[in-house]
């Protein structure tokens, strides 16, 4: 191949914000993940209205020390902590005479338990009240599932029958992967508890209500140009209807106002991805994280037209008007003076300076183009009238092409929308075959925000295909202004979607091969494209027959001791492939491939939509020689 580079010609500028991240609470990315809170269901708000398997005591179990007894009930009555945090734990205590007797509850954290590290300190807090005039003593311990203590116990005397916050620090004297937090109460009477919380002190930047440090640092290491949040499907779904359960008059959709202010006043809500979100990581924390990692904040607000499998649009003009007003208030929350109504909420949370919001997206992956666009225009008109400096981003639905996509693009173009969000998850060879996708995009039309993309797996081959594709994004940096891989985070025990950029469990985290590609591009972003030409594109226009044939027969697991050699004699693979090979996109045509033992194998010889992936090894798809031994029997 010959690559000709012409440094005298000036290509498009590449903006510093070109490569960013998209942070959605999917795969337990926030609660149980980036949000460092160790207590699950800390405010006892879970229930079957959110998920069939939930009860108000999800993640909690009763504990009796010594001869103490009692009952633990979650109630929603006039004694509640506040109107959004309605349910609380009521402990009716029957006392006990033995030393150390107490009755209460233990929280087992997320998945396998709280990961506790010897020497680390943990901040405990609880809101409590007691009907006992002399007060009630609480004992707080960290222990394993088998009851082995992990820290010296802490005691706090609850006084008075009004809600008061009690705090303390537990320092771990041993490490364990299955830690839990136990709170017991001594004596008789009734003690009420809510917002039982435990945070490691070692959070990202040491912030209170902070983020898990290893995960936040992994994201920071990407030096993201922007942070898109909070979704995704998380944003739109349910926004057409009010929540129906009694006493729960809020909507099911993500409402940014429910996610700011004191954490004990934030709602708990169901999450599109099948679990509950505490909103502890809310809009303030998203903005602050964006600022901490030097990223432009890019919130997405619901357009009141759902996508993600729920194709409905609101027919309620009042609801639409309120969401539009909420969005105007959001801009004020981010950018308004510290004495403005919403700017003051930001200031009270510790950030009097504005967050510098410049871009905002309306909606995510709507399947109803006309309904979505009508709402989009109403949002845009209101935002531009009050905040003309804000770029309002439209979108193009859930795929890289098709009728909805085309119609949405037409509508965006006709309305002279500044920037359009595109999303696609495709096979690796799609990315290789579509490197030129943006070469022909109209430079006079909207810019592109590639808000979500990934090739469908987490292997090296996928990362390589993405890297190749990103050269095409960068070459078109005058029209593709922003791009983010998705999803960003996945807990190995709570995965709803794969592939993902960063994987983690309660203890550790690691980047996928795609993560390394994102990091490579994002931390080496050039100022300007240098125009170049290649005589051919490796692996595309060339000879792909070998790989196609190999993928087809090897997955049948009929052969072992396979050796794959390139045309110039280099050995690319040897393996017994006892588990067979993986491939993307089954062959669509038929051809004949000769093996060394004389067997003939049917194989695709016409399509480039195939890829050979040998375990976690190399991607090979051109100019191959293959020898193999037929399995006996």
Positive or negative, the CA dihedral 452, 456, 458, 462 is: negative
Q: Which residues does 564 contact at the CB level (< 8 Å), separation at least 6?
A: 546, 550, 571, 572, 573, 574, 614, 620, 624, 625, 626
Query: 58-81: b or e for each residue (b if 16 or more CB lie within 10 Å)?
Result: bbbeebebeebebebebebeebbb
Helices 283-292, 213-220: axis angle to 10 degrees equals 50
Indicate the SS3 state at residue 403.
Answer: helix
- Smallest separation, CB 239 to ligand AHR (Å): 14
Options 231-239, 291-299, 555-563, 568-576: segment touching ligand AHR (CB under 6 A): 231-239
233 binds ligand AHR (CB under 6 A): yes
494 binds ligand AHR, rule: CB under 6 A: no
**Under the criterion CB under 6 A, does residue 466 sit at the interface with ligand AHR?**
no
Q: State the CB neighbour count (10 A cutoff) for residue 436.
A: 11
- Contact code string over 406-435 relative to ligand AHR, x by CB under 6 A: -----------------x------------
Residue 372 CB, nearest approach to ligand AHR (Å): 14
**Catalytic choice (251, 365, 371, 474):** 365
Site for ligand AHR in 550-579 (CB under 6 A): none
E strand spans, 456-581: 480-483, 489-491, 502-504, 509-511, 532-534, 559-566, 571-575
- How far apart CA 529 and CA 283 sit, in angstroms, is 35
Q: Does 364 bind ligand AHR (CB under 6 A)?
A: yes
SS3 628: strand
25 binds ligand AHR (CB under 6 A): no
Given the complex with ligand AHR, which of 210 and 231 has the nearer CB atom? 231
Q: According to the binding rule CB under 6 A, does residue 24 interact with ligand AHR?
A: yes
365 interacts with ligand AHR by CB under 6 A: yes
Task: Please confirm, yes or no, whether 365 is among the known catalytic residues.
Answer: yes
Q: How far is the CB of 400 from ligand AHR (least distance, A)?
A: 12
| CB neighbour list of residue 226: distance below 8 Å, 6 or more residues apart | 17, 20, 21, 290, 295, 296, 297, 298, 359, 482, 484
Task: Find all residues with CB under 8 Å of 294, minimum gap 6, and list them.
Answer: 223, 224
Residues in the chain: 633
219, 11 Cβ separation under 8 angstroms: no
Least spacing, CB of residue 365 vs ligand AHR, in Å: 5
- Give yes or no for residue 362 binding ligand AHR (CB under 6 A): no
User: C-beta of 398: minimal distance to ligand AHR in Å?
Assistant: 6
Q: Does 398 bind ligand AHR (CB under 6 A)?
A: yes
Between 32 and 232, name the residue whose CB sits nearer to ligand AHR: 232
- In the bound state with ligand AHR, the residue whose beta carbon lies nearer, of 106 and 218, is 218
Residues 86-145 that bind ligand AHR (CB under 6 A): none
Closer residue to ligand AHR, CB minimum distance, 44 or 469:
469
* CA atoms of 293 and 225, how far apart (whole Å): 9
Answer yes or no whether residue 366 interacts with ligand AHR by CB under 6 A.
no
| In the complex, residue closest to ligand AHR by CB | 232
Closest CA to 485 of 249, 106, 227: 227
Using the rule CB under 6 A, give the single segment among 56-64, 157-165, 230-238, 549-557 that binds ligand AHR.
Answer: 230-238
Closest to ligand AHR by CB, 355 vs 453, is 453
Total interface residues for ligand AHR by CB under 6 A = 14
Q: Give the C-alpha distances (Å, rounded to integers) separating 261 from 7, 164, 386, 551.
A: 52, 17, 24, 55
User: Is residue 514 within the footprint of ligand AHR (CB under 6 A)?
Assistant: no
What is the phi/psi pair of residue 215, to 5°?
A: -70, -45
Decide if residue 324 touches ligand AHR (CB under 6 A): no
**38-46, 226-234, 238-246, 502-510 -> range binding ligand AHR (CB under 6 A):** 226-234
Among 32, 47, 232, 302, binds ligand AHR (CB under 6 A): 232
> Closer CB to ligand AHR, residue 155 or residue 311?
311
Q: Which residues of 578-596 are buried (b: 16+ CB within 10 A; e: fewer)?
A: eeebbbbbebeeeeebebe
Stretch (H or E) spanning 449: strand 447-455
- Residue 368 as a binder of ligand AHR (CB under 6 A): the answer is no
Quick one: angle between helices 369-386 and 317-335, nearest 10? Answer: 40
CA–CA separation, 574 and 627 (whole Å) = 10
Binds ligand AHR by CB under 6 A, chosen from 14, 21, 23, 26: 26
Per rule CB under 6 A, is residue 253 in the interface with ligand AHR? no
**CB crowding 119-139: b at 16 or more within 10 Å, else e:** eeebbbbbbbbbebeeebbbb
C-beta closer to ligand AHR: residue 237 or 335: 237
Q: Which residues bind to ligand AHR, rule: CB under 6 A?
A: 24, 26, 231-233, 308, 364-365, 398, 423, 452, 486-487, 497
* Catalytically active residues, by annotation: 365
């Amino acid at each position: 191949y010959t690559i000709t580079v012409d440094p005298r010609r000036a290509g498009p500028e590449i903006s510093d914000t070109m490569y960013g991240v998209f942070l959605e609470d999917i795969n337990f990315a926030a609660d149980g993940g980036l949000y460092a809170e160790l207590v699950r269901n800390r405010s006892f708000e879970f229930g079957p209205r959110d998920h069939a398997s939930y009860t108000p005591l999800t993640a909690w179990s009763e504990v009796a020390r010594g001869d103490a007894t009692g009952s633990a009930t979650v109630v929603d009555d006039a004694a509640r902590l506040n109107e959004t945090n309605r349910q609380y734990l009521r402990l009716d205590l029957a006392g006990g005479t033995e030393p150390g007797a107490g009755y209460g509850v233990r929280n087992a954290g997320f998945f396998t338990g709280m990961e506790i590290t010897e020497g680390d300190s943990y901040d405990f807090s609880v809101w409590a009240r007691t009907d006992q005039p002399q007060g009630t003593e609480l004992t707080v311990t960290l222990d394993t599932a088998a009851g082995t203590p992990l820290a010296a116990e802490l005691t706090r005397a609850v006084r008075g029958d009004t809600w008061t916050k009690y705090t303390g620090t537990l320092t771990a004297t041993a490490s364990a992967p299955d830690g839990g937090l136990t709170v017991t109460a001594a004596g008789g009477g009734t003690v009420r508890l809510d917002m039982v919380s435990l945070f490691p002190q070692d959070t990202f930047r040491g912030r209170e209500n902070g983020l898990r440090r290893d995960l936040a640092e992994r994201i920071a290491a990407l030096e993201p140009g922007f942070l898109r949040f909070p979704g995704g499907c998380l944003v739109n779904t349910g926004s057409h209807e009010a929540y129906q359960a009694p006493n729960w008059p809020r909507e099911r959709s993500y409402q940014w106002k429910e996610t700011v202010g004191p954490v004990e006043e934030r709602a708990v809500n169901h999450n599109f991805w099948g679990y509950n979100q505490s909103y502890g990581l809310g809009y303030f924390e998203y903005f602050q994280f964006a600022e901490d990692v030097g990223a432009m904040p890019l919130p997405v607000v619901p357009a009141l037209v759902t996508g993600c499998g729920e194709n409905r649009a609101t027919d309620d003009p009042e609801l639409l008007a309120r969401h539009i007003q909420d969005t105007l208030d959001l801009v004020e929350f981010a950018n308004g003076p510290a004495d403005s109504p919403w700017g003051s909420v930001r200031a009270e949370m510790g950030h009097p300076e504005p967050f510098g919001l410049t871009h905002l997206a309306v909606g995510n992956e709507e399947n109803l183009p006309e309904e979505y666009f009508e709402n989009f225009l109403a949002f845009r008109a209101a935002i531009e009238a009050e905040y003309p400096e804000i770029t309002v981003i439209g979108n193009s639905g859930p795929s890289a092409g098709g009728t909805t996509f085309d119609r949405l693009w037409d509508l965006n173009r006709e309305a002279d929308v500044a920037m359009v969000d595109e999303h696609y998850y495709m096979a690796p060879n799609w990315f290789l075959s579509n490197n030129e996708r943006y070469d022909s995009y109209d430079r006079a039309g909207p810019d592109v925000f590639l808000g979500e993309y990934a090739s469908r797996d987490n292997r090296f081959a996928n990362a390589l295909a993405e890297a190749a594709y990103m050269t095409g994004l960068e070459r078109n940096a005058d029209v593709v202004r922003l791009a983010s891989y998705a999803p960003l985070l996945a807990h190995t025990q709570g995965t709803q979607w794969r592939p993902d950029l960063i994987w983690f469990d309660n203890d550790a985290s690691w980047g996928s091969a795609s993560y390394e590609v994102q990091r490579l591009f994002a931390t080496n972003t050039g100022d300007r494209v240098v125009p170049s030409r290649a005589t051919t594109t490796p692996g595309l226009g060339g000879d792909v027959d070998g790989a196609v044939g190999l993928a087809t027969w090897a997955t049948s697991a009929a052969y072992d001791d396979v050796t794959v050699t390139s045309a110039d004699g280099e050995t690319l693979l040897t393996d017994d492939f006892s588990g067979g090979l993986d491939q993307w996109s089954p062959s669509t045509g038929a051809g004949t491939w000769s093996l060394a033992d004389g067997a003939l194998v049917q194989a695709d010889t016409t399509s480039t939509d195939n890829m050979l992936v040998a375990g976690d090894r190399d991607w090979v798809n051109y100019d191959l020689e293959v020898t193999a031994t037929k399995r006996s029997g």
